[in-house]
A and B are shown apart, each in its own frame.
Chain A
Amino acid sequence: MSLDKDYLEYPKRGYGHDHDRYEWSMLADRPAVSWPGDKQLAVWINTSLQFYPLNQQGKPFKVPNGMTMPYPDLRHFTLRDYGNRVGIYRCLKAFERYGIRPTFAINSQLAKDTPYLLDQLQATGGEFICHGWNMDHLHYGGQDRDEEAELVQRSVDTLRSLVDSPVRGWLSPAKNESWNTPDLLTENGIEYCCDWVNDDMPYGFRTDHGPLTMMPLTTEIEDQFVIGQNLHSEDAWVEQVKDAFDFLLNEARNQGGRMLALNIHPWMIGQPHRIASLEAVLEYITGHSEIWQATAGDIVDAFNAQSGKGN
């Protein structure tokens, strides 16, 4: 019994990462970033608006939170659809009540198929991020490049044709990519991406068509992750978001600007028994004067305006 010799060979065992997409550095060593108005903590409230097809293909894997039952899985299809019909309107009310400038990551197919919803989202003055075509059109290693190129272009072009404000950001369904995805994004004029959740600040990212800014949209405190995957209570989610907020704010006071990226899903947090938890979080966050509550694009601009900060 043995493995091929190359299992103990390490061609990338050298300085930096094992790829060349971005420079290696530790957050604590980077120059301090300051946010507009000398605020300490940038807070990005991201709402993911998603369409989970009933005839899920699951290629190359079943998207988390998608269909799990034999066809037709009415249970998961309608529970996810609930977010776009009901849950989002509770979220929008909460945003209005707490004066939130929202960011919406939306599947382009959903934007195309629900003009009423899109109008309501646009009326908030929030920013739109392209969240791919739908939750069953994944970007993945081994995907045909032309097929993915068409998918990215269709998704970006469709959303751009529907919304009045510039579409500058990208969030892949399931935060999954192929080796080509970042290059295809910049080829389509995308300026920032939210998929790589390896930092608490934006950072510079290389592609074949120029620089991309990575905006890590942390998974660890998402409502669907804490409540849906970890099966923690709503109260525990509130506690965790508050603890994260307090910690990052304190770190920002000592080390320079930090970013809290909070991703929510109306099909999860928009339920009647959960919406008060979102309100509690927003009340806590907006009750602090040291925060800069902004859209993702505004944070990218403030970050990139400080040269040399993109490492």
Chain B
Amino acid sequence: MKESLGVYDYWPYHNRPKIEWPNGARVALWVAPNIEFYELDPPANPHRKAWPQPSPALPGYTIRDYGNRVGHRRQMDLLDKYGIRGSVSLSVALCEHHPEIIDRVCERGWELFSHGIYNTRYTYGLSEEQEMEMIRDSIETIYRHSGQKCAGYLAPALSHSERTLDLFAEAGSDLFGDDAGFYTCDLFHDDQPTPVRVRNGKRFISVPYSLEMNDTIVYAVNKVEPRHYGTMLKRHFDRLYEEGKESGTVMCIPTHNYQVSCPHRMKAFEEALEYITGHSDVWLATGREIAEHYLTHSYDAALEDIKRKNGGVQ
């Protein structure tokens, strides 16, 4: 085990090269609906229990099924209303289980990125070969069902190995060269994209995916009241919008439609989206678009600055 992650260097949020988003936008806003499939009777993983009760664990399973049966369509209607395309963190087995949802996602021009096969199959305990097999399966499944070359990764149920980012980058390169496997959502260390070192040396970055704004963390872990979540989203946006005058920032709203699309939570979410999209200098983007823009326009300057701030270049 390593003492520190070691895939990025210290890089202060201070005097960084300016990020310029399209049309002078201050904030790149992306919404990342997690479209997940949880199994009723998953195999046991020795490192993490899927459910607190013996299978069938209805309390956890059924509310997540609610997300698929009821919730996604509500959020689709809402994002349509505010002109936002979702960037879907996908349990790819859902392509086979519930293809109608994938059809709706594709009709809207939303992005699909990999969130593993099922959210009840964890990375823990997998050999490197097994993890590679799982990640390749996920990228191939997305391609088969949507024609999209998967650019991003959020490990299933946030379960990682030391090699997760390397393997995702390599699987993307093997399958689609530089068109796939170039950003991760698994790092929560920054409010701007940052370069990340991967084993095959490709240009690879972290795109901010805020756990603090993640509805499951907010509602299920931190037990926040729905309307306060709305307030948090507005405050989070306000500060990033203000700072975005100096250099472009990223705001991500990760959602789960078994949380945010419950009837008692929709109003607060809608009000926050209305507020945010009511500002002029917001780029409504997808994760891939943010990553591509950054890789093209900011990545090289970032590497230089990181070296400089760490004493490598004068």
A residues at B contact (CB < 8 Å): 1-4, 6-8, 10, 12-19, 24-29, 60-61, 140-142, 174-179, 195-200, 216, 218-221, 229-233, 236, 239-241, 243-248, 251, 260
Contacts and interface: CB of A to CB of B under 8 A. Distances in A.
Contacts of A15: 96-97, 99
Contact of A6 (B43, B69, B73, B219): B43
Interface stretch (B124-132, B170-178, B294-302): B124-132
Given A141-B55, A142-B54, A175-B59, A3 B130 contact: yes
Given A141-B54, A247-B264, A198 B63 contact: yes
B45 A3 contact: yes
A49 B72 CA distance: 34
Given A18-B40, A18-B41, A179-B56, A8 B130 contact: yes
Main secondary structure of the interface of A (DSSP, over half): loop
Nearest to A182: B56
A233 B56 CA distance: 32
B59 A10 contact: no
Interface of B: 37, 39-41, 43, 45-46, 52-59, 62-63, 65-66, 68-70, 72-74, 93, 96-101, 117-118, 121, 125-127, 129-130, 133-134, 137, 219, 223, 225-227, 262-268
A3 B98 contact: no
Contact of A240 (B39, B96, B130, B264): B264
Nearest to B39: A18
B63 A140 contact: no
A218 B45 CA distance: 29
Contact of A243 (B70, B101, B125, B264): B264
A231 B43 CA distance: 34
Query: Which A-B residue pairs are the 4 nearest by beta carbons?
Result: A2-B127, A141-B54, A244-B264, A244-B263
Nearest to B124: A3
Which of B66, B127, B137: most chain A CB closer than 10 A? B66
Nearest to B52: A61
Contact of B262 (A14, A24, A140, A244): A244
Contacts of A175: 58-59, 62
Contacts of A229: 223
B225 to A, nearest CB: 5
B45 A7 contact: yes
Given A10-B117, A16-B97, A247-B266, A140 B69 contact: no
A26 B100 contact: yes
A48 B87 CA distance: 41
A221 B97 contact: no
